[in-house]
Structure 1
């Protein structure tokens, strides 16, 4: 009996040992299915579908075309394509050519993609014409459109190569603690072991899997290869649909989907999109912990629910658990040919249920990180448990333990233990109870060590109804926890925030959770004068710049008459006094001395510089999104917003690179796409009203073009005194010289007209133009071409320079929209087209002109803002009805 117990302990964490064809490339299995099911649908994308024969032959031709481009076995190819059937075919073509690929999401920051291409020594960047020259790289650019045009020149048979199970299939980059991503090297045999190890799911050729994951997230590998290796059908969505809960739910209901993999965030999005009736799908969840409250919602809606766990470094997944009850949620047991060890700090194996670090060994363990020998020595250590020469185990940094059945609990990170006042706390239990309470839509509970001398437990809450006062629910929330939990598990603070931050891979980003202090809900009804040095400093600065004798800590910046120009001065002075730089838009959510002071006490790294700024987020009307003009200031729009209807939401869009960290964008399409992404994250379904002031109008126009192409419901596109001209980039030097000379002469002549009409105003405006040019010249002389100056004015100048470059290079394409042009009555500069400010050739449905009081720089200032708001609200209301 003792011997049996000893053997059982030794077998804890050891997955089934199964022989598999480890020398066989992954694509061989897909080719075999093409022979077995040549006419069966292998791949669907939107209205297009591809049989296994078509998929096999097209990828073979791509492989041969790549070989013709000089690719040899073992070469590396970076692939950056929009989500489509072409992307899947291209990936298969790459691996059939003998190369390995670096998956690159075009939505990722340019600098990050360029680093991956350089670090991975990619011989080719395989992309689309739309991304021609988009990245600065030494990799040879090859375009899918060019290869497709000559595919008939190549044989449809698999080319010969020397690929084995030891050959690389992909290098996937993950976040690095040094700020640079690190490339995980996965071999064919690693991936093949995983796909064959998913036998628990019992996938057959009759199944249909819906794939939604970005190519740069490791679980994409399961979505792509698992169905194709089993003769099943893969449905792939575009990027927009992948983020739209309602659209995904419609596909799940109508496309006979039987398998669906997603992170808990996406599962929650589906539930919140109205998923109420059970569907015959086998659900796979992974990437982050599955909470009890979420499991309780999706278990009844799925045929089966499987919870999986595994880091990228051990090839996507290492463990699996069939979840049938919220009382039995674990990450399960190891997959085949996988070993999971729980070890203490001395690497002693803990099989008795004690907590320790999770180590993973077996066939899924990657070669290691590319070009990171020191990190490999730290994370990929010799496997002393199996005794197999050369074998490695990966140190995950995750904390875990075995239960009595041999299942594994993942308990978080070893360096971020949830421990309050000596008690270890399972935050999922607190979250589950709170999730059932009144007006709570979503909750994340976590400890904070930056709120005083003691660790505090904070519940971050997203309200179900943002119009309700959260204070009225506070006592009930606390009482519900007191009724079910020991006192030490009741959070110290409840912070109400707009949304839970999410990583690009769809996980809850706990590291990005905001400092809760500005959002904490408390009962408060007394006025308090400045109490701290910070509050006194802020109050004194406000008093000085706003010419107010005394400012209290609950006085509101905007109610005191604060405007954008004085805000710039105040924030610059605060930066000078404290060394901390805040976005001007901070004043929308921190408009009192108290709130701004608390914001200043945040860790600088915690300050968010999101482009989307909630100027007036309350209201049930169609929101309007207004893009900044030159100078990047969205505070200009506050007075306009306050004069619109009470239930009219207004959002501003500011340049994200104002933080001085992100690289300013110099391409109009990229700028527009980055703003669209933030809007869609907040409002995935629309409808949308877009507007822009001056330069911002051009950005808004490009946003409308992209959103229309994506099939989004754009009801209104408004230009706030925006003048448009076509780029001269493609003109001959003769035409450029003629046009510029003519325009300069007309500007000079028109200046005399303005002088005759209003000499004082004309001189002031011309002086403002001259001053701006002097400032720009000063920056260029003192900081050179790179424009690396520090501070608010420096960063904003850098962005203005890049925006101007984007505008100069922007080719304006006509779009099937109508434009509402809000034109300043007082003219301050010459235009070739005073009537429609150049927009007539580009708005296919016409230009509706609305004259508003003021000149270009004063249309938002009192009293002009009130009349402007009346006209704008009428247009918004009319747009909703159309």
Structure 2
């Protein structure tokens, strides 16, 4: 299709009108109709108009004039929407500021925009350090109540600025996009026709006002006499609550990102609902479309950058196998062009360029960047006409519909080839069993980038694909792509990480587990006998054929279990015993081999181990689990904030010399002493994994008794297993028998959920119990362990003894409980893991992906770290 036909979108509209004129027309046509609903409040169009007019008049009294900028930081209430209208009616433009966004980001936007006034609430009074006058909405409502409900005559037209919305910048500083009134008027009138809205509709608004799609949430219903149902910030993040509102409140239109739609589908949305689904902000996957189409009246895919006024291209999706972004909205021109700005009309892949009435004025205070992205339109004969370079890749289908293929800045160079990641993602998304695909180039070894595909599968599988599946995918890609575009690594996730706006967060994608990879690049061969010795041991224990002297243990997929084997083998070969924690500092063969040269007497075996010692935040101290070492906390630590220090606590006696402790109070006291010697003042954040949670609990109890400031006590999937040592023998036997019955009864449920994992776990448990019985029955026939295995077994037995004898008593503290989502064994209290009677200030439960033994393993570690960091940051506020 010729571009002239594609872009035949000219429609007359009242370009001179301001955005609020559309609202005023609704208020005149439907004065007594409900305009905004919020919880149990309902405001008519007249009430909204009169209140907005009064506040606008008050702003004018405060010296606001046309062209000024006003910041708005309010929680999601009707007053937030009324204030937006009031700002526009006063002649000013607004900067939308979500109070949930970082404080320093909001302060930057206020300063950069030159906002004369900040409208906020008493809740945030004085919160933001900015050179602006603060107007509290509570006071503004009171002060304006006596004013006439007449709109000020500010002389606003469609040519004036409506808002400045900040988006992420490549320099790390947000950039302000300037949008005029007429651009919004054009979009609202275009949307009134297609997809269509009438005064009989009822819409639900869920987008944060700092996301441009909130403009459709707010102004589309209010421009057409429809009812706007406003969701508060908590509800907007709760799929079940949103689904309940849609079901029970007669919602007919809902706009949301793919992330939000998936969230609603996952909480039990199965039936057809009479709604139009607007899906925007991120690419639509075919599996999502397939689920939404039968559940709604209409499904619309919407595309557009902030710089061209929210949405520029829309598509009514009726076939999940044929997803495009469709055709341009009214008065909008779309081109696909190559790097030389040649128009690609034959289906070639190029950059999506957008022109027309939705075009922004450019970036506020950023003339260089504006000139780079808003260029002279090479396809226009109108002098001074501009077009926006979106940075997105696309192509035209023969019928003229636009296919979106991802970001150009996701274009990478691997092994000398320039690769469009969007093209790989597009072809992966067409394969059976793949719901969603994201491809990035990782450079975990400097100078050697690798293509990594992150996939969501229909069957929910996570981790790494089987070799047969991997071969099938690679062969399918080889049929349509050159070899250099086929990913090196495939990682299966249960969820693609997203930003607060619901867009894919590529920076949050986890490192692949490189233990699945035979490395041959950047190879440095052994140069000394010690390097040869360490290399041989690593290769044997890690199952790799070739490891460079500079490869990092953790990047190779090194885990605590293999570290134990490596250190035991090193001790066997050299007679030198090194702590497992040595690998934190000496994580390459080169460094570890050099460490073997140091005198054994200089090796320290302190319980306190610096895992990630640098950073300005409150340190986190994590107690080992039954495995006795802290190596498995490395991945979690590395995924926490750059400024978050992390220390581990390893068992006394792990050097094979010191006598292990077998009393819980003494174990805890030893760790407390080391922490306080390291940091006498605090405040403190203490956590424990599995058995370590019990130790951490006793540590917190002792530190509170000492008057120390414990800001956070965290349990990493620890069950409050109260000792039965004081229970009468008969009662104990009955209790144990009944628990065994419940375990056996629960096994079929586990088997149905995951038969393979259940069989593995139960087989291992049965084997462990048989071994234990055999040892007791035939102690002389059991081969005595030596070296590392012997003294770790001794510590483990002493630790179990300490737990069996430890009496849990209530403590005046709150527990942050990080609970593994996947269960592999029966628990009496699977909700709070038994902690409610002991944490007198309550238990906050945080579900984290994985099962008990895999919560620290990729890709679970990334999500775990995110939730943990939020708790740590909240604890110090």
Q: Give the TM-score, by structure 1 length.
A: 0.64
Quick check: 1:494–1:521 contact (8 Å CA) kept in 2?
A: no
Shift of 1:514: 2.6
Partners of 2:411 and 2:670 lie apart in 1 by 65
Taking a change above 3 Å as real, the CA distance of residues 537 and 445 of structure 1, as seen in their structure-2 partners, is: closer
Q: Aligned to 1:365, which of 338, 354, 359? A: 359
Q: Aligned to 2:89, which of 76, 96, 99? A: 96
2:214 equivalent to 1:220 = yes
Report the equivalent of 1:260.
Answer: 254
> When the two structures are aligned, how many residues end up with a matched partner?
649
Quick check: 1:832–1:838 contact (8 Å CA) kept in 2?
A: no
SS in 2 for 1:125: strand
Q: Aligned to 2:285, which of 281, 287, 291? A: 291
SS in 2 for 1:147: helix
Quick check: 1:78–1:124 contact (8 Å CA) kept in 2?
A: yes
Shift of 1:767: 11
- Which string of whole-angstrom CA distances, capped at 9 and with x for unpartnered residues, describes residues 454-510 of structure 1? 8755332457898x8856x62463476479665566754332346421122101223
Taking a change above 3 Å as real, the CA distance of residues 459 and 346 of structure 1, as seen in their structure-2 partners, is: closer
Partners of 2:566 and 2:449 lie apart in 1 by 37
The range that moved more, 442-451 or 65-74, is: 442-451
Report the equivalent of 1:501.
Answer: 497
2:58 equivalent to 1:72 = no
- Which string of whole-angstrom CA distances, capped at 9 and with x for unpartnered residues, describes residues 588-634 of structure 1? xxxxxxxxxxxx9xxxxxx9x9x9xxxxxxxxxxxxxxxxx995224
Shift of 1:512: 3.5
Report the equivalent of 2:785.
Answer: none
Report the equivalent of 1:619.
Answer: none
SS in 1 for 2:234: helix
- Which string of whole-angstrom CA distances, capped at 9 and with x for unpartnered residues, describes residues 795-842 of structure 1? xx9xx69x9xxxxxxxxxxxxxxxx99797768866699xxx999xxx
2:47 equivalent to 1:54 = yes
Quick check: 2:6–2:400 contact (8 Å CA) kept in 1?
A: yes
Q: Aligned to 2:625, which of 635, 639, 657? A: 639
Matches within 5 A, 1:403-414: 403-414=397-408
Partners of 1:562 and 1:254 lie apart in 2 by 64
2:203 equivalent to 1:192 = no
Partners of 2:505 and 2:675 lie apart in 1 by 45
Partners of 1:548 and 1:294 lie apart in 2 by 44
Q: Aligned to 1:275, which of 269, 273, 278? A: 269
Report the equivalent of 2:231.
Answer: 237
Report the equivalent of 2:431.
Answer: 433
Report the equivalent of 1:614.
Answer: none
Report the equivalent of 1:168.
Answer: 161
Report the equivalent of 2:642.
Answer: 659
Partners of 2:21 and 2:409 lie apart in 1 by 42
Partners of 2:162 and 2:494 lie apart in 1 by 41
Partners of 1:824 and 1:879 lie apart in 2 by 14
Partners of 2:669 and 2:833 lie apart in 1 by 36
Taking a change above 3 Å as real, the CA distance of residues 376 and 767 of structure 1, as seen in their structure-2 partners, is: closer
SS in 1 for 2:186: helix
Q: Which has the larger radius of gyration?
A: 2
Partners of 2:40 and 2:636 lie apart in 1 by 34
2:178 equivalent to 1:149 = no
Quick check: 2:56–2:87 contact (8 Å CA) kept in 1?
A: yes
Taking a change above 3 Å as real, the CA distance of residues 455 and 532 of structure 1, as seen in their structure-2 partners, is: closer
Taking a change above 3 Å as real, the CA distance of residues 496 and 534 of structure 1, as seen in their structure-2 partners, is: farther
Report the equivalent of 2:204.
Answer: 210
Partners of 2:294 and 2:170 lie apart in 1 by 39
SS in 2 for 1:527: helix
Taking a change above 3 Å as real, the CA distance of residues 366 and 478 of structure 1, as seen in their structure-2 partners, is: same
Report the equivalent of 2:567.
Answer: 551
2:170 equivalent to 1:177 = yes
Mark the runs of 5 or more structure 1 residues left unpaired by the alignment. 1-7, 437-441, 579-599, 601-606, 612-628, 644-649, 665-692, 694-757, 777-796, 804-819, 840-847, 854-859
Shift of 1:261: 1.0
Taking a change above 3 Å as real, the CA distance of residues 763 and 878 of structure 1, as seen in their structure-2 partners, is: closer
Q: Aligned to 1:450, which of 443, 446, 450? A: 443
Partners of 2:670 and 2:318 lie apart in 1 by 76
Quick check: 1:434–1:443 contact (8 Å CA) kept in 2?
A: no
Matches within 5 A, 1:722-737: none
Matches within 5 A, 1:345-494: 345-417=339-411, 425-433=423-431, 435=433, 443-448=436-441, 450=443, 457-461=451-455, 474-475=466-467, 477-478=469-470, 481=473, 486=478, 492-494=488-490
SS in 2 for 1:197: helix
Partners of 1:386 and 1:20 lie apart in 2 by 21
Partners of 2:637 and 2:489 lie apart in 1 by 31
2:307 equivalent to 1:324 = no
Shift of 1:443: 4.0
2:578 equivalent to 1:533 = no
The range that moved more, 127-136 or 380-389, is: 380-389
- Which string of whole-angstrom CA distances, capped at 9 and with x for unpartnered residues, describes residues 166-189 of structure 1? 111100011111111110000101
Report the equivalent of 2:790.
Answer: none
Quick check: 2:351–2:390 contact (8 Å CA) kept in 1?
A: yes
Taking a change above 3 Å as real, the CA distance of residues 851 and 291 of structure 1, as seen in their structure-2 partners, is: closer
Quick check: 1:459–1:491 contact (8 Å CA) kept in 2?
A: yes
Quick check: 1:209–1:259 contact (8 Å CA) kept in 2?
A: yes
Quick check: 1:75–1:99 contact (8 Å CA) kept in 2?
A: yes
Partners of 1:35 and 1:55 lie apart in 2 by 12
Shift of 1:391: 2.0
Report the equivalent of 1:4.
Answer: none
Q: Aligned to 1:35, which of 25, 28, 50? A: 28
Quick check: 1:204–1:230 contact (8 Å CA) kept in 2?
A: yes
CA RMSD of aligned residues (A): 5.0
2:133 equivalent to 1:140 = yes
